[in-house]
Amino acid sequence: MNSCAGKSGLVTGASGGLGRATVLALAADGANVVALSRNAEGLRETADLAAGMGGSVITLVADVTDESAVIDAIKAVESHFGTVDYVVNNAGKQVEKLFLETTNADWEAVDATNVRGPFWVCKYAAEAMLRLGRGGSIVNIASVLSTSADPMLTAYTTSKHAVLGLTRSIAVTRTLAREGIRANAVLPGDMDTVMVQKYLEAQQDPGEARRQMAASYPVERIADPAEVAAVVRFLVSDDASFVNGASIVVDGGLGAALYTSA
């Protein structure tokens, strides 16, 4: 049974990585998707991969840091598919700098994509969900850095703490919850994505940094984005109808491993 069949919504940052994997997981389960990104070529590749999977996928080249573009994206979901059942806030930005090296421009760029944009997506989606009266699911992609920290990712770490707070604030808003509108966060560890690749390339020895990253996980590897997308799909689905305000960690046991063993 496809528990997302017929649901329609928005996935941001959909041109690759977790965003693309999420679009594919939802489409394979029968959901309709507006796939949003600034990267038109990447979006075309995502749409091509999703073709024939079951749900319909349309692409929208837009930037979540533009409020009017976010409003238009939510309207596009409703105009194309007749409803807004879910949104997945996946678009993200990293700046690889230590705290004392982080500039105001770095901070503002990360905040605009990782906090302000998701706030707008959540707000305008929730308004549409309330008006349409079908409930809905808001899924925000946070991070294991929502509850820990990386000295090379000061602005990113702070932004992902904010995403967790935003998610919880929405979840406990009774005017939404009593209408069946849920908000949950997914906290992935490292995934094999362009963002992680760029982070590794910023290190002194990228090859050694990759080896150490994998070795820090009990499973001795980082995640395939599809493994995280499966959790997102669950949260969108009717199977998660009583899951609200949750922070689901998908990190291969990283957070549970204070010390490693043979």
Q: Where are the domains of the chain?
A: 8-250
> Would you write out the chain's pLDDT as a tens digit for each of its 262 residues?
569 999 999 999 999 999 999 999 999 999 999 999 999 999 999 999 999 999 999 999 999 999 999 999 999 999 999 999 999 999 999 999 999 999 999 999 999 999 999 999 999 999 999 999 999 999 999 999 999 999 999 999 999 999 999 999 999 999 999 999 999 999 999 999 888 888 888 889 999 999 999 999 999 999 999 999 999 999 999 999 999 999 999 999 999 987 766 6
According to DSSP H, which parts of the chain are helical? Answer: 17-28, 40-50, 67-81, 104-111, 117-132, 154-171, 174-177, 194-201, 206-215, 225-236
**Rounded to the nearest 10 degrees, what angle do helices 154-171 and 104-111 cross at?**
30
Q: Does domain 8-250 have CATH number 3.40.50.720?
A: yes
Please tell me the predicted confidence (pLDDT) of residue 260: 65
**Res 257: pLDDT:** 83
Task: Check: CB of residue 1 under 8 Å from CB of residue 26.
Answer: no
Q: Based on the residue annotation, tell me whether 217 is a catalytic residue of this protein.
A: no
Q: Choosing from 86, 124, 156, 217, which is the catalytic residue?
A: 156
Residue 51 has a pLDDT of: 95
Structure token digits, residue 200:
């590794």
